[in-house]
Structure 1
Amino acid sequence: MRKLGLLLLLWAGIFRLYGQDITVRLDSLVSSSALLQTSEVGISVFNLTQGKPVYAYQDRKLYRPASVEKVITSVTALARLGESYTFDTRLAYTGTIGQDSVLHGDLMLIGGFDPEFMEEDLDELAEAVLRAGIRSIEGKLVADVSVMDSVYWGSGWAWDDAQYSFQPYLSPLMLNRGCVSVSVKPAQRGHRPEVEVTPESDYYVIDNRAVSHIPHCGRLRIERDWMHNENAIHITGNANRACGQLLSMFSSQDFFVHTFAYKLRQKRVGLDSLAYGICPEEATYIYKVSRPLEAVLKRALKKSDNLCAEALFYHLAIGGSERKGIGAEDAQKAVERFMRHQIKKEPDDYSIVDGSGVSMYNYISPDLLVEYLKYAYAHKEVFEPFYAALPIAGVDGTLRYRMRKSNAFRNVHAKTGTVKGVSSLAGYVRSAKGDLLAFAIINQNILSGRKARLFQDKICEILAQ
């Protein structure tokens, strides 16, 4: 009995030393870091297995979160909407289909803000029209985008991000994430290169002025005049190798509707005009494309996809509501209610204006992030899909190339965040003795993202030991 008591005391001493060692090592890292001489950091670590805090440094200060805000969006979506929730795009018609295969009415396309709706899904809608026996539309192709308001850009988003594919124009009708894929393949020297754009559509025009294997023509450029919201794709310069690029299209919903009409005409469905309107209650539904929440969640976290995160954010207000014209403020209120009643934090102490973390108006703390991580851990129905969707250190997602040569390899499941001046990391790490820790690190006012990531990786290595 005496030996057992001594053994328990020994283990207790080891655990105390373990906790002290982490604190000492993290304090040493923070105090000696050259990075922090010109920047700030907030750190919060909590031992979920033991139910106690491990480390805190400026953890209640407010910082711009960048994409770690997707942790808040994802946990809230899983808790409020549930893993079985779907993002639906529906097809219906008004009037009647005659024996001559003419639709004496309108074909209705009802958007539900599915961020992962791709060209193959559009092909399914076109085939559904044929299966319904429609070969000509006497009325119009009417797009119903009334579920959301008409604001396609988030509050506090950088205006010059409009040129990049990672920040498409938001709409209830999203096709190919609001982008086209442009592929350029050089031909014989001096000739125009081959250009392929998908999805194929009459919504854009291709202006190919590039030449093959003529170096003095300069670097190959694939672009559109985003400043004037034009959708002409300009290819200029020297094409010396096969390459490609994603380009966002102005007005995602117009891109969707025009491309759908283009596909219908290719299938010899007679169609004269397009319009926007609201689908009447008496419409006959003929098809639905449903996207499970899991697919949207996985891309939002693994790939840090802004569009998927915004879809989760908006659906917090859309889900279960019959209201039209849902906007960002409605989604903000849904986040605030969950924060107040479930996370037990006061929303007025923070600023959350979007779902992706892109806005410069977002301000949260590492302590708040850890509270969401703790909530997820305490609720199995939230934790299991959330944990599975997080990037894994050295394995996949935005952590694929990080922490490969340390004991944090495969032990860290966490969300990254990067915008100009900000680098962040929040998630879970398993220690060498088997405890699961929740942590959040936000580096602020940094000019070198690489140095901030190395700093974060060192923290994870210490926690994993």
Structure 2
Amino acid sequence: MKRIILQACCLLLFSWLFAHRASAQQADSVATLASRIDSLLKYELPAGAHAGLCIYDLTAGRMLYEYQADKLSRPASTMKVMTAITALSQQGIDEPFRTELWTRGRIVGDTLKGDLYVVGGFDPELDETDLKELIGGLTKRGIRVLDGRIVGDVSMKDSLYWGTGWLWDDTPSTFQPYLSSLMLNKGVLQVTLRPAERGLAARVECSPASTYYTIDNRTRSRTSAAGPLRVDRNWLENGNCVSLRGNVQSAVTRSLNLFDSGRMFMHVFVERLQEAGIRCMSVADSTRESIASAYSFGELPHDSLAVRLARHETPMQTVLNVMLKESDNLNAEAMLCRAGVLATGKKRVSADDGLDAMRALIRKIGLNPSHYRLADGCGLSHYDYLSPELLVAMLRYAYSRTDIFAPLYKALPVSGMDGTLKYRMGYGTPAFRQVHAKTGSYTGINALAGYLKTKGGHWVAFAIMTQNALSARQARAFQDAVCESLCSLPFE
């Protein structure tokens, strides 16, 4: 009996010594980490830049490192992390984004007698293939003639087509879309130019092909004297005259946004109806003016006479993946509106409804939303102000909820593998494939927030926000060095 007791005491002592040693090793590792990051802040942070860091060990449930963690900074596209977690926390978020065709009329033979409503659900991924599929829903019903109005219903969202604080001179850049609940190809026109014989105008192909815009082609093929290629539109007048100037040496594709994406959708929709063999009684010919006069905007009356004819659905995860991996601004704003719809139960929403849902979640995790500034869902606005502490608190909340963490983690860019981290922390570094995080950058601003796994298997949530860093390359190198130091942590 005494021998058993002695063995038990020895085992307890051995366990205590092992735990004490492991704890001491972890403490040493944390101290080494802090010293390493302090050194990076002192020597690797770009000159003139400021930084805020918050690093939390999710496995051990403790803070690993903080530096100006409550300092407010512009988040750039790390704002999309806030939007994603807010949306994923809403009940019903798994429902797909829908674009639908409705009528209150009746089908007589091959003719729809009554108005056709195109109801927008803010699907940011709908493209021309999807549009043809939607129209195919009409032909499957045997409809070959439309005897009534063609009405676009964009009532899901208010008429503000840009987010608060978005820069007016960023148009016609594709990263700054014109927002609408009806979107086609993200409201973007792709222009492909191919050189013809030397000195002649280049050949032009556009997608989507449409009379909604006009092309003024004054390019020259393989003629260096024509100057560099310029593709622009008369955006100061909110026009859609696309001007092509300069030398086309080889095939090249340029993209730009078009004004009023809701009208762009409806214009192309009418043209594709005709191409599908559906005659619109309101269209006299194929000219731009005739097409434009064939559609209008209004709201579908939801009563017993309303019948859905066709619909297209895009899964939520698809929208989320593009939003985070490719840092797509339109998808983020669509997700913010979706959060507003689910949080309020309203049919008509604005960006403020989604931001109110975000503020409610901030209160839920124990922070005060009045300490921050929330202006949009994608981070384009210079009015957004967050802190590393807030971002990590949101990431911790997401980690505690499997239903939120699973789709979020799947959609985040992976270091050295895909998305905006494809060419960062690549093969051969301790962080290769171990960091799932959202980048954020524009002039002077660079941030990174997400999750990583240490060498010892611990899960870590982190946020690194650098401001006034004119060298984005140096700012990214600083962030990568911090992540590599974290991924090298050995404790289990």
> Would the aligned equivalents of 1:169 and 1:252 in 2 still touch at CA under 8 Å?
yes
Structure 2 residue 34 is matched with structure 1 residue 13 = no
- Looking at structure 2, the residues matched to 9 and 463 of structure 1 have their Cα atoms a distance apart, in angstroms, of 22
SS in 2 for 1:439: strand
- Looking at structure 2, the residues matched to 34 and 114 of structure 1 have their Cα atoms a distance apart, in angstroms, of 40
- Looking at structure 2, the residues matched to 454 and 295 of structure 1 have their Cα atoms a distance apart, in angstroms, of 30
SS in 1 for 2:244: strand
SS in 2 for 1:289: strand
- Looking at structure 1, the residues matched to 359 and 312 of structure 2 have their Cα atoms a distance apart, in angstroms, of 31
* Aligned partner letter, 2:25: I
Deviation at 1:262, TM superposition (A): 0.4
Deviation at 1:6, TM superposition (A): 3.1
Map of 1:283 onto structure 2: 306
Deviation at 1:50, TM superposition (A): 0.1
Deviation at 1:228, TM superposition (A): 1.2
Instruction: Classify 1:148/1:48 alpha carbon distance in 2 versus 1 (closer, same or farther; 3 Å).
Output: same
Structure 2 residue 315 is matched with structure 1 residue 313 = no
Q: 1:45 aligns with which of 46, 55, 68?
A: 55
Structure 2 residue 181 is matched with structure 1 residue 172 = yes
Instruction: Classify 1:322/1:107 alpha carbon distance in 2 versus 1 (closer, same or farther; 3 Å).
Output: farther
Map of 1:255 onto structure 2: 264
Map of 1:207 onto structure 2: 216
Map of 1:24 onto structure 2: 35
SS in 1 for 2:150: strand
> Would the aligned equivalents of 2:437 and 2:448 in 1 still touch at CA under 8 Å?
yes
Map of 2:295 onto structure 1: 274
- Looking at structure 2, the residues matched to 320 and 64 of structure 1 have their Cα atoms a distance apart, in angstroms, of 26
Deviation at 1:4, TM superposition (A): 4.2
Deviation at 1:83, TM superposition (A): 5.3
Instruction: Classify 1:34/1:115 alpha carbon distance in 2 versus 1 (closer, same or farther; 3 Å).
Output: closer
1:268-302: per-residue Cα shift (whole Å, max 9, x none)?
32221211111122221011111111011101110
Q: 1:348-387 residue pairs with structure 2 within 5 A?
A: 348-387=370-409
Instruction: Classify 1:82/1:40 alpha carbon distance in 2 versus 1 (closer, same or farther; 3 Å).
Output: farther
Instruction: Classify 1:82/1:55 alpha carbon distance in 2 versus 1 (closer, same or farther; 3 Å).
Output: farther
Map of 1:194 onto structure 2: 203
Map of 1:56 onto structure 2: 66
- Looking at structure 1, the residues matched to 15 and 177 of structure 2 have their Cα atoms a distance apart, in angstroms, of 64
Map of 2:156 onto structure 1: 147
1:62-99: per-residue Cα shift (whole Å, max 9, x none)?
11110001111001111114552211111011211212
Q: 2:75 aligns with which of 51, 59, 65?
A: 65
Deviation at 1:257, TM superposition (A): 0.2
Q: 2:143 aligns with which of 128, 134, 138?
A: 134
* Aligned partner letter, 1:277: G
> Would the aligned equivalents of 1:302 and 1:389 in 2 still touch at CA under 8 Å?
yes
Once superposed, which parts of structure 1, at least 4 consecutive aligned residues long, lie more than 4 Å away?
none
Map of 1:335 onto structure 2: 358
1:406-443: per-residue Cα shift (whole Å, max 9, x none)?
10111111100001110000011111111111100000
Q: Mean Cα displacement is larger for which, 81-90 or 352-361?
A: 81-90
> Would the aligned equivalents of 1:81 and 1:316 in 2 still touch at CA under 8 Å?
no
Instruction: Classify 1:102/1:450 alpha carbon distance in 2 versus 1 (closer, same or farther; 3 Å).
Output: same
RMSD across aligned positions (CA):
1.4
Q: 1:87 aligns with which of 94, 97, 111?
A: 97
* Aligned partner letter, 1:184: L
> Would the aligned equivalents of 1:90 and 1:111 in 2 still touch at CA under 8 Å?
yes
Instruction: Classify 1:310/1:81 alpha carbon distance in 2 versus 1 (closer, same or farther; 3 Å).
Output: farther
Map of 2:326 onto structure 1: 303
SS in 1 for 2:166: coil
- Looking at structure 2, the residues matched to 34 and 251 of structure 1 have their Cα atoms a distance apart, in angstroms, of 42
Q: Mean Cα displacement is larger for which, 216-225 or 323-332?
A: 323-332
Q: 1:246 aligns with which of 240, 243, 255?
A: 255
> Would the aligned equivalents of 1:164 and 1:247 in 2 still touch at CA under 8 Å?
yes
**Percent of aligned pairs with the same residue?**
41
- Looking at structure 2, the residues matched to 228 and 329 of structure 1 have their Cα atoms a distance apart, in angstroms, of 28
- Looking at structure 2, the residues matched to 135 and 433 of structure 1 have their Cα atoms a distance apart, in angstroms, of 65
TM-score by length of 1: 0.97
* Aligned partner letter, 1:102: T
Deviation at 1:186, TM superposition (A): 0.8
- Looking at structure 2, the residues matched to 322 and 94 of structure 1 have their Cα atoms a distance apart, in angstroms, of 24
Instruction: Classify 1:220/1:418 alpha carbon distance in 2 versus 1 (closer, same or farther; 3 Å).
Output: same
Say which one has the larger Rg.
2
Instruction: Classify 1:34/1:116 alpha carbon distance in 2 versus 1 (closer, same or farther; 3 Å).
Output: closer
Map of 1:228 onto structure 2: 237
> Would the aligned equivalents of 2:414 and 2:422 in 1 still touch at CA under 8 Å?
yes
Structure 2 residue 44 is matched with structure 1 residue 33 = yes
Deviation at 1:219, TM superposition (A): 0.9
Structure 2 residue 420 is matched with structure 1 residue 398 = yes
> Would the aligned equivalents of 1:83 and 1:294 in 2 still touch at CA under 8 Å?
no
Instruction: Classify 1:81/1:202 alpha carbon distance in 2 versus 1 (closer, same or farther; 3 Å).
Output: farther
* Aligned partner letter, 2:300: C
* Aligned partner letter, 2:323: A
SS in 1 for 2:279: coil
- Looking at structure 1, the residues matched to 455 and 26 of structure 2 have their Cα atoms a distance apart, in angstroms, of 12
- Looking at structure 2, the residues matched to 461 and 323 of structure 1 have their Cα atoms a distance apart, in angstroms, of 45
> Would the aligned equivalents of 2:93 and 2:342 in 1 still touch at CA under 8 Å?
no
* Aligned partner letter, 2:370: D
Gaps of 5+ in 1: none
- Looking at structure 2, the residues matched to 256 and 236 of structure 1 have their Cα atoms a distance apart, in angstroms, of 27
- Looking at structure 2, the residues matched to 437 and 178 of structure 1 have their Cα atoms a distance apart, in angstroms, of 38
Deviation at 1:9, TM superposition (A): 2.6
Q: Mean Cα displacement is larger for which, 216-225 or 263-272?
A: 263-272
Deviation at 1:3, TM superposition (A): 4.2
- Looking at structure 1, the residues matched to 158 and 437 of structure 2 have their Cα atoms a distance apart, in angstroms, of 33
